[in-house]
Structure 1
Amino acid sequence: MIYAEPKCSPGGDRFMLIEFGDELTLALNFFSQGLARATMEQKIKGVVETSPCFSSLSIHYEPDEISYDDLQKEILTLAALLGEASDVEVESRLLYFPAVYLDPWTAAAMNEYREKINPEKDPDPEFITNLNNLEDVQQFVRVHSGTEYWCAALGFWPGTPFLMPLDPRCQLTAPKYNPPRTFTPRGTIGMGGGSTAIYPVDGPGGYQIFARTPMPIWDSKQRLPQFESQLWLLQPTDRIRFVPCTVEEFNEVERKVEEGSYEMNITDYQKVSLQRHKAWVEQLDVNARF
């Protein structure tokens, strides 16, 4: 459901949460991204930062410079000026991520989980395959890697992207682990609900896991040019395409990243329109799978 008017609520004394609906849709995220951009461009006194998510927006503000009520009036005015989500255009770049699907690293993490926590847990790729009525894990790999992904939000771990498939034929779903894993390798690609995410560092985790990328998305060592001005790679409105690769290719990319010589494959910013995306989707057989 998309709300007739954005719902504002306080988050402590320095944050405002604006909700646009309770659906996981590209339209709501476009509106969230558009309002975040408009808020920063407006240079509203007291606004520190905006954090768009799937269907909501969090705003960090200084209460000594602007009151909650005044900020709410400003935000609702901007939201009305944006119009429909279908009218919003945003700048987006496309990044290509090599990825080893059905890889040995996430397989080892799954095996450890079964040995120590839940011996009845099915391997994640097989679990996702069966849950989504796919023929086999090879079809799962084709479906998951067959689309560009939209970066709807960053969060949880530093620089972690939460991704939505732009091709509806590639929409998959899977519940999180219960209980979670104690270890997940850096660069792991996983799925929770309808969202795909990449783990920036080693750590615990609850997403179903099935692939690993050597592309750094968080780098405190700042080894590559993309990390010179900030420690994280991605931004909301980025797009990612996962390109299946071998373990040998993974190791070569990882080696180049470590020595600072790896050249990322990134297409520069271009305007992305929800209207054009909807027109493209209407031409598809959305029930077809690869």
Structure 2
Amino acid sequence: MTVSSPDLKEARYTWGADEFLFVEVDESMSLAANFKVMSIARKLSDAGLPGVVDICPANASLLVRFDPDVLPPSSLESTVRGIERELQNHNQQTLETRIIEVPVWYDDPFTAEVAQRFREGFHQEPDGTDLDYAAKVNGLKDAAEFIRRHHEQPWLVSMVGFVAGLPFLFQLVEREQQLQVPKYLSPRTDTPKLTVGHGGCFAAIYSVRGAGGYQMFGVAAAPIFDPAQSLADFKDFMVFFRPGDIVKFKPVTEEEYNAIQAQVEDGTYRYRQVPVTFDASKALSDPQAYNQELMEALNGI
């Protein structure tokens, strides 16, 4: 399937009150649908249309907030439809982005402690662990195999939101190889900050401590939301991730986690990242080979 595949029909355009245009590219998430969403969002942003207040891309749709006193609704819709036709006609399949290494302490004591507090009445298997359950429902041998499958292939940031700075991530593998895990039966009232979680086919990193229903597998070692912008990676914006980012999780030990925490504390930590041109046609036609190409770019820095 390519971005111009007949499986992706013309988007559906609807209105939310007087200030919002909702563009539904597809009813379900796919790499092709998400790539089209990101492409429309970036081209609309680059157009600098007076009256556009905010552009919020999601997994398979985007929401545009605008000022109707400056930009007539018909003009906005016409512009977005024109962008959609342009993408279809030119079959544009590349996106300038970056690949980022995200260190994770898997099977950590912080999420393990919280998971034990929310078993009975919250979880499908009260006597087990989230990692054991995830391995079981994916037909894997054990938690170690699940962790390996989780970090060995890259993930695409399909959207950022729900709470400030939280990325949703979609693994760049064939659909039949995607890890899928149901959410908790009932949401928890507590989730450790920087928990790496999973619900359905999506991974997420909880940017702040709070409620949550995703299965918990570990904690990221460095912040992804920095309101004080104290670290160099946040000098331009307090939210680290952007839609279209490629993430490669890297397992770290407790000692490595603590060393990163010390660098965060003294303000010297930097994420390993490198600019890449993401080619959706390659990712769709041969994910395994293209993932290796992406990871080689990261390993080369």
- TM-score by length of structure 1 reads 0.91
Give SS of 1:210's match.
Answer: strand
Give SS of 1:212's match.
Answer: strand
Instruction: Report the number of matched residues.
Output: 283
Return the alpha-carbon distance in structure 1 between the equivalents of residues 111 and 25 of structure 2.
36
* Pairing partner for 2:134 from 128, 136, 145: 128
The answer to whether the Cα contact below 8 Å between 1:192 and 1:208 also exists between their aligned partners in 2 is: yes
RMSD of the alignment, in Å? 2.1
Distance of aligned partners of 1:282 and 1:258 in 2 relative to their CA distance in 1, 3 Å threshold: closer
Return the alpha-carbon distance in structure 1 between the equivalents of residues 212 and 153 of structure 2.
24
Q: CA deviation at 1:156?
A: 0.6
Q: Equivalent residue for 1:33?
A: 38
Q: Equivalent residue for 1:15?
A: 20
Distance of aligned partners of 1:260 and 1:41 in 2 relative to their CA distance in 1, 3 Å threshold: same
Q: Equivalent residue for 1:192?
A: 199
The answer to whether the Cα contact below 8 Å between 2:125 and 2:133 also exists between their aligned partners in 1 is: no
Correspondence 1:172 to 2:208: no
Out of 118-127 and 250-259, give the one that drifted further.
118-127
The answer for unaligned runs of 5 or more in structure 2 is: 1-5, 291-301
The answer to whether the Cα contact below 8 Å between 2:121 and 2:185 also exists between their aligned partners in 1 is: no
Q: CA deviation at 1:170?
A: 4.9
Q: Equivalent residue for 1:230?
A: 237
Return the alpha-carbon distance in structure 2 between the equivalents of residues 130 and 208 of structure 1.
13
Return the alpha-carbon distance in structure 1 between the equivalents of residues 150 and 288 of structure 2.
20
Distance of aligned partners of 1:240 and 1:85 in 2 relative to their CA distance in 1, 3 Å threshold: farther
Return the alpha-carbon distance in structure 2 between the equivalents of residues 87 and 70 of structure 1.
24
- TM-score by length of structure 2 reads 0.88
Q: Equivalent residue for 1:273?
A: 279
Return the alpha-carbon distance in structure 2 between the equivalents of residues 61 and 2 of structure 1.
30
The answer to whether the Cα contact below 8 Å between 1:144 and 1:170 also exists between their aligned partners in 2 is: no
Out of 75-84 and 251-260, give the one that drifted further.
75-84
* Pairing partner for 1:157 from 151, 154, 163: 163
Correspondence 1:60 to 2:65: yes
The answer to whether the Cα contact below 8 Å between 1:36 and 1:57 also exists between their aligned partners in 2 is: yes
Give % identity: 31
The answer to whether the Cα contact below 8 Å between 1:92 and 1:271 also exists between their aligned partners in 2 is: yes
* Pairing partner for 2:85 from 80, 87, 90: 80
Correspondence 1:46 to 2:41: no
The answer to whether the Cα contact below 8 Å between 1:125 and 1:210 also exists between their aligned partners in 2 is: yes
Name the aligned partner's letter for residue 58 of structure 1. Answer: L
Give SS of 2:119's match.
Answer: helix
